[in-house]
Amino acid sequence: MLAVAERVRSRALGEVEIVWHAPVDPASCDGNCALHEIACGEPGISAPGGNRELPADLAESGQRWCTACRDAVRQTA
């Protein structure tokens, strides 16, 4: 599944978690976007990197899917 990263500071001092979201219009991304609209309906991710292909069952330490984005993509697949 295509995804765009959001860096989120965790409650633990100095730790950053990566939350992956499904972009609404992935074909419009050239890697230099100022904002990505995302499937969960949150305001979007400003200053994102490019889209990346990730497994739905992501198991990387310090990274997770936005549950709402993952579920939205699964419903349309």
Within 8 A by CB and 6+ apart from 17, the residues are 7, 8, 9, 10, 62, 63, 64
For the segment 29-55, what is each residue's pLDDT rounded down to a tens digit? Answer: 777 777 778 888 887 776 566 788 999
Confidence (pLDDT) at 12? 66
Residue 66, pLDDT above cutoff 70: yes
Q: What is the pTM of this model?
A: 0.79
Higher-confidence residue of 74 and 24: namely: 24
Confidence (pLDDT) at 20? 92
Residue 7, pLDDT above cutoff 80: yes
Q: Where are the domains of the chain?
A: 2-76
d(CA 75, CA 59): 21
